[in-house]
Structure 1
Amino acid sequence: MADGVRARRSAPPREEVLAAAMEMIAERGLEKLTMAALGRAVGMSSGHLLYYFGSKDELLLRTLEWSESRLGAERGRLLTRAAPARERLAAYVDLYVPDGHRDPHWTLWLEVWNRSLGAVADARDRQAAIEGAWHRDLAALVAEGVSRGEFRPVDADRFAARLRALLDGFSIHVAIGLRGTDREQALGHVREFLTESLYR
């Protein structure tokens, strides 16, 4: 029994490791995160963590993918409910924009983007897959709203690309704590843009 307990402590559930990594990256940034510190937080040796992840960059990507899988499930729930397209678009925007300075999910994205220039093709492909899911869901929602007459006739794919660029820009400002841009201000700008360009 003691051996079984030790085995469980040396290999905690994957979600526990990724949740701890997300919290530590948000608090310290990836550069200050050490495998030893993460290991202490989850009761695992740094050697075990390196065995499972290989590098801090891989740990970062897996943590982002885990975080995104949770957000993706929430996004799917919001977008498939029985509600007008405009209401579901507001929910999408609300989910997209960070809660505030050092939002953990957005801190992960900032770290990933910071490493994108030197990333290998596999890492860039995985990042593109995550961003592609957000884009496809948004484009489909815009197309649905147009087809139902709720939105002005726009090219859904092009509009989604532009809206996501706007969301990314404001979200980065919110996440890094840029003075004069908080979450409510960002949401206000996006609502104004949608009123002027999309809503009937």
Structure 2
Amino acid sequence: MNEAPESRGSQDRRTAILEAAWQLIAERGYHHVRVQDVARICGTSTGTIHYYFPGKDDVLREALRYCVDQAFERQGSILRQIDNARKRLLALIEMQLPSGVQIRNEWSIWLQFWSETCLNLDLRPVHNDFYARWMDAVVSIVRRGQRQGIFRDVDPVVFARLLTSATDGAAIKILTGAPGMSVDVMRNMLVSIVDKELALTPSPV
């Protein structure tokens, strides 16, 4: 009985550390965040940070996981409220557009996760698990639309590869300032892919 408040307090402190760390990573870059910076934002000591995460790499890697997990949970809670598969897929697309600070920061985390995964084999299982969840979300919606009779009989996995790759590529171009790519262009491109590949008949946006 006496352990519950203490356990909740410990979990709250751990969450506060991860919140601070992922925001700093998004703003400054993975290799420019120090444990001292995280401690300062949390109003605590570096010793407290190391109590929960033995080393700097542990803090940063867990912060990456935390950020992506939070994004999946937020998106999932919204999508579950939408029954129509096309509307659900368009809502998923809308949530991927790097149009606000929160989403742009999450995309910054993704970009850095990719970079670190290229060099660090230990991160690949984590990265691949997240990517499988991203793919599964699209596959599930396509199958839903096929059951509802509003999507064509295409291979959901092949479509998911197409849509996720197009989403990633467009977002990278936006975040890196590539000419000719904007949030509106990205949205129109992805919706066009949905209608071209899935719609029984052309549908309005």
Give the CA deviation at 1:79. Answer: 2.7
User: 1:11: Cα distance to partner?
Assistant: 9.5
1:120 deviates by 3.3
**1:86 partner amino acid:** R
In structure 1, distance between residues paired with 2:177 and 2:55: 29
Contact kept in structure 1, 2:159 and 2:197, CA below 8 Å:
no
| 38-47 vs 181-190, which moves further | 38-47
Q: Which residue of 1 aligns with 2:113?
A: 112
Cα shift readout 1:34-53 (whole Å, capped 9, x = no counterpart): 11122111122234324433
Check 1:54–1:180 CA distance in 2 against 1; reply closer, same or farther (3 A cut).
Answer: farther
Report sequence identity in percent.
27
User: What does the per-residue CA deviation read over 1:118-160, in whole Å, with 9 as the maximum and x for residues that have no partner?
Assistant: 2133x21111111111111210110111222201110011111
Q: Using a 3 Å threshold, how does the CA distance of structure 1 residues 91 and 153 change in structure 2: closer, same or farther?
A: same
Structure 2 residue aligned with 1:79: 79
| Partner Cα separation in structure 2 for residue 145 and residue 182 of structure 1 | 28
- Contact 2:64-2:109 within 8 A present in 1 as well: yes
Paired position in structure 1 for 2:153: 153
Residue in structure 2 matched with residue 97 of structure 1 by the alignment: 97
Aligned counterparts of 1:82 and 1:31: Cα–Cα separation in 2: 39
TM-score by length of 1: 0.84
Match for residue 183 of structure 1?
Answer: 183
Q: Please name the residue that 1:138 is paired with.
A: 138
Answer yes or no: is 1:61 the counterpart of 2:61. Answer: yes
Q: Which runs of 5+ in 2 are unaligned?
A: 1-9, 201-205
Query: Does the 8 A contact of 1:60 with 1:112 survive in 2?
Result: no
1:71-120 Cα offsets, whole Å, 9 max, x none, are: 22222223322431100000111112322588111111111111112213
Closer, same or farther: CA 132–175 of 1 in aligned 2, 3 Å: same
Runs of 4+ that moved beyond 6 A: none
Structure with more relative contact order (C-alpha pairs < 8 Å, separation 6 or more): 1
SS in 2 for 1:103: helix
Structure 1, unpaired ranges of 5+: 1-9
Task: Give, in whole Å, the separation in 2 of the partners of 1:11 and 1:75.
Answer: 23
CA contact (8 A) 2:14 2:52 kept: no
Instruction: Flag the 1:127–1:65 CA change in 2: closer, same or farther, 3 A.
Output: same
Q: 1:112 and 1:82, CA in 2 relative to 1: closer, same or farther beyond 3 A?
A: closer
TM-score normalised by length of structure 2 = 0.82
Contact kept in structure 2, 1:21 and 1:38, CA below 8 Å: yes
Number of equivalences: 191
